[in-house]
Amino acid sequence: MEHPVPTDYLRWIVLLPLLGAATNGLLGAGLQKKLGKWMISLLACAPVVISFLLSLKAFFDLLGLKPEERFLLDRVYAWLSLGTLNADVAFWVDPLSAVMILVVTGIGGLIHIYSMGYMHEDRSYWRYFAFLNLFTFAMLLLVTADNLLLMFIGWEGVGLCSYALIGFWYQDHVNARAGNKAFIVNRVGDFGFILGIFLIFWSLNQQGHGTVTFREMQRFVPLLEGQEMWGIGVATLATLLLFIGATGKSAQIPLHVWLPDAMQGPTPVSALIHAATMVTAGVYMIARLHFLFSLAPVTLAIVATIGALTALFAATIALTQNDIKRVLAYSTISQLGYMFLGAGVAAYGAAVFHLMTHAFFKACLFLGSGSIIHALGGEQDMRKMGGLRGHMPYTFWTFAIAVLAIAGTPLTAGFFSKDEILWQAFSSEHGSALLWGLGVVVAGLTAFYMFRQFFLVFFGECRADSHTRAHLHESPKVMTMPLVVLAAGSVVAGWIGLPAAFGGSLFAGWLEPVFGPHQEAHGSAGLEISLMLLSVAVAALGFYLAYLVYFRRTLAPERFSSLAGGLPYRLSYNKYYVDEIYQFVFVEGSLLLARIGAWFDLHIIDFVVDGSAKLTAFVSWLNGLFDDYVVDGIVNQVADSTFAAGDKFRKIQTGNINSYLYVILGAVVITMIIKLRYWS
Amino acid sequence: MTDHVLTYMTFFPLAGMGVVLLLPRERHDLIRWVSALFTLPPLLLAVWLYGHFDPTKPGLQFIEKFRWIPDYNIAYFVGVDGLSISMVLLTALLCFLCIFASWGIDKAVKGYFALFLLLDTGMMGVFVALDFFLFYIFWELMLLPMYFLIGIWGGPRREYAAIKFFLYTLLGSVLMLLAILALYFSSEPYTFDMTVLIAQNTKYGTAALPFWPFDRLGWGFQHVVWMALFIGFAIKIPAFPFHTWLPDAHVEAPTAISVILAGVLLKMGTYGIMRINFPMLPAATAELAYYFLAVLGAWNIIYGALCAMAQTDFKKLVAYSSVSHMGYVMLGMASFTSQGINGAVLQMFNHGTITGMLFLMVGVIYDRAHHREVDGFGGLAAVMPVYTGVSALALFASMGLPGLSGFISEVLVLLGAWQKYPILTVLGASGVVLTAGYFLWTIQRVFLGPVNEKYKTLPEINGRELFTLVPLGIIVIILGVYPNAILDLLRSSLDELNRTVIPYLS
Amino acid sequence: MAIGLAHYLVVGAVLFGLGLFTVLTRRNAISILMGVELILNSANINYVAFSHYSTGNVDGQIYAIFVIMLAAAEAAIGLAIVLAIFQIFHTIDVEAAETLKD
Amino acid sequence: MQLSPVIFYLIAALTVGSAAMVAFSRNIVYSAFSLLGTFGGVAGIYVFLGADFVAGVQVLIYVGGILVLILFAVMLTHRIADVQITNRSVGRIPALVVIGIFIFLLIQSIRETPWAKAKEIVYAPTTTIIGEWFLERYLLPFELASVVLLAALIGAVVLARKETRE
């Protein structure tokens, strides 16, 4: 299709970070030694910043187009074309992916800059940035791909980079194992995802329109209605399979186990990958394929339920964790649950909106915690922190804003996006009061555990040892500036998505070309406002509890932990023992199967093979015996009698070649006599 | 020159063997360089062939044919189509690189390189031969040097491995010979010419044979011949339950021979099925493919992956991963869809390069540490960063990471197979997870973690070793990004192949 | 009586018998080799005779040529062995040079 | 009476007679020289059979090559003086008996077997066609023959060479 604007700059949005990764990955070690770390930083940060600028250009180019044809397509080359399968390397930017590339390059850029300070002491500085760039590339590929297969490259690529960055300090086995876990759990999800792709392609192919390209899929997907496989509607089955992929990437039940462990990586990585961008890929994917998910109400219900349950489940675990990053990790899972809740009630716009605001405040929280960990020399246990407010003013204030945002304080970004989701959960035709109720409970829990963390870290006595305390310092500018920007975003980003009751959402309008016209809410504006007030009240209750327990210390935490015999506390503290169960069932299970397989090879198949060889040997041994005793016995007998009878022929029986010749000759003669006598 | 390019490619190494035999036996370096010199022209010719092959035509190209033993209608008949040209490329490339991987051999150098060059000719011949008799000769020609290369230059249990390999493949050869003769005597006029046999493929009977067990199974002449050929090829693939020679042979064979075994020899099994079973016995193929290719393929994937997981010997692990990966080829070609069969052949090519890398990589570490116990290392990433990088590339490619070549072929195979056998595809795809599991576990145990004090001073990978690994690595990346480089060659030939079988599918 | 196939075959047969006799009775290695040559010649006569009378093509003649070739090779090798033995044992009596057996 | 049978019988007699000399002579030098008669006679028989090329080959290789070789061997291994002692033969009587029976049986079967007959018996030169066939139908054996000869050549050199002690 002809475009009024040239589009071939789109490829550079994606490819520049790849170039950065390639130069740093191949030449980084040498460059770092010869020219110093600034060269690495330049090579790594410049591409991301340029990508961000190009993304802005793409955004404005889109603005310049009529809403109904708002997309840019940059087709690079034909990648796979076999039979009816046609997948190009092509980059596609529509309003949805425009949001994503802005988030990825924007927040990604900030985190790159932050990392320059955070990772400054590390020997493998170049390796870190190579992977960070590679990650940015993969994520951009994921969000700009114009077909499912290309998207899958990004999908797995981010998994790979996540693996490499979680295990960045690979000399410690714990880190390496955490990386493995992340990759394998993601692989399980990817397994579902790829099967989903197959199913979609195959069933569209049945209709004569085999395709994996999003735009064509959108056109032909209605054909799938009524098609069945294994007694389930194809659309339902395909979306369920894709959703397995989403649970893997976005850490939803039951594949959430990798994300808390992923905190073993450097903190900026946690911020970029495990909070702001990669984990939202599942949400993006559902939004991208909204036309397909909308065909499958069953899947939507499952998505919403899983989302709500994950939100609750992760929030309850976050209540009791002591590791500063683990609390944030569970809070991420919980927030992702919100997004899935939104997507599950077909409020894709709200889900993407929350994705964006969450990216701001969660990145801010993680980078803030990174700043704290940096200041404390690597300490991550909140029980050994406290009273940091005075030492780290920038970190304190930005962290405070982000906590307010995530807790859903009115007028912050989190408030608008979360309430949009809750309202949709209540009012949408796919929603219900129960889902809404769960969401509100989680809002209260979120407020509690976030303020618990906030108070534990910044207020009260400093519980760190004296040596660490002496070295307390605010982080350098290069780290605090991104925090300030992100904190500002945590407030401002929400204002583009005001609820309908307050004048309507710019953001929803922007996404309208993708998701279709905004759904008419079933409830009135009054109902929306009162529900909003209710959730704010619940969040305030959470805040108040945290305030009492951890700030005023008028309520002892033990009052909660000893509740019902301490069982809920222990369950939460031990993450409901999910890791242990998985370890036992899946890891040990597959190892057991593996050993059985190897045993079978060694003892059954090889037994048969070696056995047949031995059997052959045995038979030939028997044969030998037969020869020795029976055949030779007869022959010897004959020979002996010949010997005894014909002493005169002794001379020719010399045992040399002559005797054999005679025997042969004799045999021939006898044969010929017989032949001539009887057969002619 | 250009008229006989295939002949030159095939017999250049043989000439090299002659030259090597004439060299004085203590001039090791001279022998090595001469061997390299004689494997280079086939590689260059293969590249030339790649450039001049017309991928739009489905038929055979670069045909050479003349009567050889006219009394029995045996001809010297060679040519390539899309299926074989990819294998010819792979063979030429791997043989050239493996000469350099063999640099470290210092026991009876002359014999080693002479046999290696003979092996090269045998392999090349198998892929270009279009006369059944010629095909069989090359097939056997390749077996012999392989036996000696494993049996003389192998590890501690080399005799056992070599004999096991020999017996297994000999069993396969015998069955194949019977099948070849059966086809010969049912052709009219008697001929070994594959193209003629294919043209007559409707003549071979499908009516059930009147004796047990074929009457029970409803098998006709076609089916019996198909099975005989299949077992012969399945041993090479190696398909369960004929696969146990592979781990032993791999573990005992020297590095370069492992590479050749995995990279080229295994392909002959699947190549043979596609070259012979598919077009010559289409009815039987259509009936039996499900049981013996698809089911067995999916089983191979899972079983190989599980066995690999249980191994502690690095080389054995890679060997079992080959079993697993060849399962994809079987599954893909059994689907009779464009994606499946193209993916299968692409997987053959990719497996050749990727597993080649893996074995070379194991060889590098074995040369330094003199053992291959996965648990015996640890933290090598800090000691040998470049080596770790290259190994990671190979391991991730083998895991089917998108962007690398293994992914493309696995996805194509599974996408193709899904259209026929969704359940098997689900099983096969779960192999992807298992593969990730055992390879990541391996990476963790070998490369990550604290540095093992014993290996603190291991030297980094050297230039020669890099020279063998890097070209393969580049191919792995290029094919991941631009798979059409190979797919373009395959497409029309393989679609044509599909068309011969599809009418018989019920 | 016209000369026919049978005549040649009889010549061949007699020649064969004489060759066999030589091989059987001689103890001198060179003589034994001579006997072998006689046997090969008799076979060749048969080949060429059959070629001429029975098949009418030159297959038999070609086989005969191959036999001659092999005879030449055999003679060369055989006599070389004889010479080698002679150098070691100073006799070429096959019974005297039996140590090879042990 | 035609001439050719006479010549045939003469040649056959020469062949058989000199073969008998080979078999029975007590002097190895006589045996060796008698071989000349046999080989020449056989060549004559070939001529009778219209196999001109084979006859030529027979003369060239047998008479010119093998016979000379044998003579050399005889000369190299014996002093001419004590030939009788070294060319002993044993067990003549039983051998003669058995072989006599054998030849008798052979001749019997030659007479009784209904031999296949060619459509026409031609006496055309065969050299051309033999040459062609060697390069077509019999290419592989032909090439093999050269390998065999080469191997024999090298083998003979290796065997007959004097062992030099270092």
Which residue do the tokens 């074989």 mark? B84
B66 touches chain D (CB under 8 A): no
> Is the pLDDT confidence value at A112 over 50?
yes
> Is the pLDDT confidence value at C102 over 50?
no
Question: How many whole angstroms separate alpha carbon B350 and alpha carbon B348?
Answer: 6
* Same-domain check for residues D94 and D25: yes
Which of B247, B269, B291 is at the close of a domain? B269
Question: How many whole angstroms separate alpha carbon A53 and alpha carbon B391?
Answer: 36
- Which pLDDT tens digit goes with each residue over A36-58? 777 888 888 888 888 888 888 88
User: Smallest CA–CA separation between D102 and chain C, in Å?
Assistant: 8
User: For the residues B134-140, what does the mean pLDDT come to?
Assistant: 90
A659 touches chain C (CB under 8 A): no
Q: Is the peptide bond before B241 cis (omega within 30 degrees of 0)?
A: yes
Q: Which two tokens mark A467?
A: 């040596």
Check CB contact under 8 Å for A29 and B385: yes
Q: Number of folded domains in chain D?
A: 2
Which residue do the tokens 């002591």 mark? A322
- Contacting B residues, span 264-323, partner chain A, CB-CB under 8 Å: 303, 306-311
Nearest CA in chain B to D135: B68
Name the band, by pLDDT with cuts 50, 70 and 90, for residue A653. Answer: very low
* Same-domain check for residues B260 and B343: no
Q: Is residue B430 part of a domain?
A: yes
Q: Phi first, then psi: give them for residue B337, nearest 5 degrees.
A: -110, 160
Q: Is residue B411 part of a domain?
A: yes
* Same-domain check for residues B391 and B246: no
User: Smallest CA–CA separation between C24 and chain A, in Å?
Assistant: 6
* Same-domain check for residues B107 and B25: yes
Using CB atoms, which residue from C25, C64, C73 is nearest to D54? Answer: C64
Q: Are B341 and B471 in contact (CB under 8 A)?
A: no
Nearest 10 degrees: Cα torsion A68, A74, A80, A81: 60
Q: Are D26 and D103 in contact (CB under 8 A)?
A: no
- Which pLDDT tens digit goes with each residue over A588-603? 777 777 777 777 777 7
Q: Is residue D60 part of a domain?
A: yes
Chains C and B touch (3+ CB pairs under 8 A): no
Domains in chain C (CATH in brackets) are 5-101 (1.10.287.3510)
Residues in chain C with CB shorter than 8 Å from the CB of A658 are: 24
* Same-domain check for residues B348 and B412: yes
- Which pLDDT tens digit goes with each residue over B446-462? 888 888 888 888 888 88
* Same-domain check for residues D69 and D100: yes
- Interface test with chain C among D9, D67, D99, D154, by most C beta carbons within 10 Å: D99
Q: Are A520 and A528 in contact (CB under 8 A)?
A: no
> Is the pLDDT confidence value at B270 over 50?
yes
C96 touches chain D (CB under 8 A): no
Sign of CA dihedral D71, D74, D76, D78: negative
Check CB contact under 8 Å for C83 and D162: no
* Same-domain check for residues D91 and D42: yes
Q: Is residue B102 part of a domain?
A: yes
Name the band, by pLDDT with cuts 50, 70 and 90, for residue C14. Answer: very high
Q: What percentage of residues in chain B have a pLDDT greater than 70?
A: 100
Q: Which domain holds residue D163?
A: 126-166
Higher-confidence residue of A675 and B110: namely B110
User: Smallest CA–CA separation between B379 and chain A, in Å?
Assistant: 6
* Same-domain check for residues D135 and D100: no
* Same-domain check for residues B367 and B505: yes
Q: Which two tokens mark B142?
A: 């390749």
D5 touches chain A (CB under 8 A): no
- Which pLDDT tens digit goes with each residue over C44-89? 999 999 888 888 788 889 999 999 999 989 888 888 888 887 777 7
- Which pLDDT tens digit goes with each residue over A363-407? 888 888 888 888 887 777 777 777 777 778 888 888 888 888 888
Q: Which domain holds residue B395?
A: 281-506
| pLDDT recorded at residue B367 | 86
Nearest CA in chain A to C97: A656
- Interface test with chain A among C16, C22, C24, C95, by most A beta carbons within 10 Å: C24
User: Smallest CA–CA separation between D139 and chain B, in Å?
Assistant: 8
| pLDDT recorded at residue B474 | 92
User: Smallest CA–CA separation between D37 and chain C, in Å?
Assistant: 11
Beta strands A232-233 and B61-69, pairing class: unpaired
Residues in chain A with CB shorter than 8 Å from the CB of D102 are: 665, 668-669, 672
What average pLDDT does the structure give for chain A?
80
Nearest CA in chain D to A649: D94
Give whole-number Cα distances, C14 to C1, C17, C72, D13, D90, in Å.
20, 5, 22, 11, 21
Q: Are B105 and B259 in contact (CB under 8 A)?
A: no
Q: Is residue D118 part of a domain?
A: no
| pLDDT recorded at residue C40 | 92
* Same-domain check for residues D18 and D91: yes
> Is the pLDDT confidence value at D79 over 60?
no
Question: How many whole angstroms separate alpha carbon D47 and alpha carbon D56?
Answer: 9
Q: Is residue D120 part of a domain?
A: no
User: Smallest CA–CA separation between B427 and chain A, in Å?
Assistant: 10
| pLDDT recorded at residue A680 | 53
Residues in chain A with CB shorter than 8 Å from the CB of B434 are: 590
Q: Is residue D81 part of a domain?
A: yes
| pLDDT recorded at residue B400 | 85
| pLDDT recorded at residue C39 | 92
C24 touches chain A (CB under 8 A): yes
Of the candidates A180, A291, A199, A179, the one whose C-alpha atom is nearest the C-alpha of residue A245 is A199
Higher-confidence residue of A572 and A453: namely A453
- Which pLDDT tens digit goes with each residue over A202-234? 888 888 888 888 888 888 878 777 777 777 788
Check CB contact under 8 Å for D136 and B71: no
- Which pLDDT tens digit goes with each residue over A297-321? 888 888 888 888 888 888 888 888 8
* Same-domain check for residues B293 and B247: no
* Same-domain check for residues B289 and B151: no
Name the band, by pLDDT with cuts 50, 70 and 90, for residue A1. Answer: very low
Least confident of A158-167, A616-625, B348-357, B471-480: A616-625
B72 touches chain D (CB under 8 A): no
User: Smallest CA–CA separation between A215 and chain B, in Å?
Assistant: 20
> Is the pLDDT confidence value at B498 over 90?
no
Please report the number of interchain residue pairs, chain B to chain D, with beta-carbon separation below 8 angstroms: 8
| pLDDT recorded at residue A642 | 62
> Is the pLDDT confidence value at B310 over 60?
yes
Of the candidates D53, D57, D44, the one whose C-alpha atom is nearest the C-alpha of residue D18 is D44
* Same-domain check for residues D107 and D54: yes
Q: Is residue B187 part of a domain?
A: no
* Same-domain check for residues D89 and D137: no
* Same-domain check for residues B160 and B14: yes
Residues in chain C with CB shorter than 8 Å from the CB of D73 are: 30, 79, 82-83
Q: What percentage of residues in chain A have a pLDDT greater than 90?
A: 0
Using CB atoms, which residue from A654, A656, A665 is nearest to C20? Answer: A665
Q: Which two tokens mark B222?
A: 């076609």
Q: How many CA atoms lie within 13 A of A235 on its CB side?
A: 22
* Same-domain check for residues B251 and B315: no
| C-beta atoms surrounding D93 within 10 Å | 8
- Which pLDDT tens digit goes with each residue over D47-62? 888 888 899 988 888 8
User: For the residues C11-15, what does the mean pLDDT come to?
Assistant: 92
Using CB atoms, which residue from B415, B433, B450 is nearest to A85? Answer: B415
- Contacting C residues, span 58-97, partner chain A, CB-CB under 8 Å: 94-95
Of the candidates B96, B86, B181, B99, the one whose C-alpha atom is nearest the C-alpha of residue B127 is B86
D140 touches chain B (CB under 8 A): yes
Nearest CA in chain C to A660: C24
**For chain A, which chains pass the contact test of at least 3 CB pairs under 8 Å?**
B, C, D
Check CB contact under 8 Å for C52 and D118: yes
Name the band, by pLDDT with cuts 50, 70 and 90, for residue B127. Answer: very high
Which of D112, D136, D156 is at the close of a domain? D112
Name the band, by pLDDT with cuts 50, 70 and 90, for residue B121. Answer: very high
| pLDDT recorded at residue A187 | 86
> Is the pLDDT confidence value at D3 over 90?
no
Nearest CA in chain A to C100: A656
B412 touches chain A (CB under 8 A): yes
Give whole-number Cα distances, B463 to B387, B466, C101, in Å.
11, 5, 57
Q: Is residue D36 part of a domain?
A: yes
- Which pLDDT tens digit goes with each residue over D87-127? 666 677 888 888 888 888 888 888 888 888 877 777 778 88
User: Smallest CA–CA separation between A637 and chain D, in Å?
Assistant: 24
C23 touches chain A (CB under 8 A): yes
- Amino acid B422 reads P
- Which pLDDT tens digit goes with each residue over B325-334? 999 999 998 9
Three-state SS for B313?
strand
Beta strand ranges found along A54-100 (DSSP E): 72-82, 85-93
Q: Number of folded domains in chain B?
A: 2
| pLDDT recorded at residue B91 | 92
Q: Is residue D121 part of a domain?
A: no
- Report ipTM (2 d.p.): 0.64
Q: Is residue D157 part of a domain?
A: yes
Q: How many CA atoms lie within 13 A of D63 on its CB side?
A: 17
- Contacting C residues, span 4-33, partner chain D, CB-CB under 8 Å: 5-11, 13-22, 24-28, 30-31, 33
* Same-domain check for residues D88 and D29: yes
* Same-domain check for residues B253 and B354: no
| pLDDT recorded at residue D166 | 46
CATH of the domain at D43: 1.20.120.1200
What average pLDDT does the structure give for chain B?
87
